[in-house]
Amino acid sequence: MAIDSRQLQKITGATRLFAIVGDPIAQVRSPEMFNVTFHSAGIDAIMVPLHVRAKDLSAVMNAAMRLGNLDGIVVTIPHKTAAVTFADRLLPTARQVGAINALARQLDGTWTGELFDGQGFLAGIRRAGCNLVGRSAIVVGCGGAGSAIAFALASAGMRSLALYDIERSRVDSLAARVTACYSSLAIRVGGVSEDCDLVVNATPLGMAQHDPLPIALDRIPRTAWVADLVMKPEITPLLIAARARGHPIMLGAETLKHQIEPISRFFGLRLS
């Protein structure tokens, strides 16, 4: 989606600001995707990345949200759950999952939070050709993004869902919350099942050069889809291994790509 930098709109005193906060931040692709969208729609706005560590999140968010020309914040790893506390109100998906990845300033100065990861993932995996109804999936990583994916898959009519995370408390919590909303869904915690049609990596493993694979693929049927939420590198070690075994794959950028329009509208922007 790259465009010639000479075509970019000039930043003026009237330019509206948007930010993305995370740690790390170099891997995010939201600024490039949103800024291209802003430019294409003729919107005088810019999104900038902010590297914010967990210990500084409260100070940064409280200060940033007082800026008069900041209209929205995208939230990425590892802050999606903690950022809930900064919203004056939560929309339904955010309330259900207990995490947000976007905050929008309202006309009265208050902030509304919502979570779009699940919506973006479903749109991407369906567009890629993966049928979810009556199928089984494994979600590795039960943080904010993994929780969003788990709830989205449950809503899509899947038959069973296996959850894994190095923190067992997060697995148990997510399993209980999903079961409370989708009692007919079979949920299993821990381990790798050979009865699997989709594997989703919702951990940061794969960002760093020497990261181990988040899951061993040797017991996964080769017909199973393998999706990774990591966006840089574009083809992660997990996806390289999956493609070598003949699995159909989905890149992390697909989940983000299908969130750009709904988040922009959530921010109150008119794209057409």
Residue 165 sits in a domain whose CATH number is: 3.40.50.720
Among this protein's residues, is 257 annotated catalytic?
A: no
Whether residue 91 is contained in a domain is answered as yes
Whether residue 187 is contained in a domain is answered as yes
Beta strands across the sheet bearing 249-250: 186-189, 160-164, 136-140, 198-201, 225-228, 249-250
Residues 111 and 218 in one domain: no
Residues 164 and 246 in one domain: yes
Residues 236 and 200 in one domain: yes
Residues 107 and 12 in one domain: yes
pLDDT of residue 184: 95
pLDDT of residue 169: 95
pLDDT of residue 87: 98
Residues 126 and 251 in one domain: yes
| Residue partners of 152: CB distance under 8 A and separation at least 6 | 117, 118, 119, 121, 122
pLDDT of residue 5: 53
Catalytic-role residue among 10, 55, 80, 257: 80
Residues 260 and 223 in one domain: no
pLDDT in tens, 66-118: 999 999 999 999 999 999 999 999 999 999 999 999 999 999 999 999 999 99
Give the domain range for residue 163. Answer: 118-255
Residues 101 and 171 in one domain: no
Residues 126 and 245 in one domain: yes
7 pLDDT more than 60: no
**How many Å apart are CA 28 and CA 22, to the nearest integer?**
9
pLDDT in tens, 121-158: 999 999 999 999 999 999 999 999 999 999 999 999 99
Whether residue 271 is contained in a domain is answered as no
Whether residue 186 is contained in a domain is answered as yes
Mean pLDDT of 150-172: 96
pLDDT of residue 6: 52
pLDDT bucket at 209, cuts 50 / 70 / 90: confident
- Counting the structural domains of the chain, the total is 2
Q: What is the pTM assigned to this prediction? A: 0.92
Whether residue 202 is contained in a domain is answered as yes
pLDDT in tens, 233-243: 999 999 999 99
CATH number at residue 75: 3.40.50.10860
Residues 141 and 152 in one domain: yes
2 pLDDT more than 60: no
pLDDT of residue 272: 76
Residues 111 and 224 in one domain: no
Whether residue 180 is contained in a domain is answered as yes
pLDDT bucket at 191, cuts 50 / 70 / 90: low
Whether residue 272 is contained in a domain is answered as no
Residues 87 and 175 in one domain: no
Residues 136 and 217 in one domain: yes
Whether residue 225 is contained in a domain is answered as yes
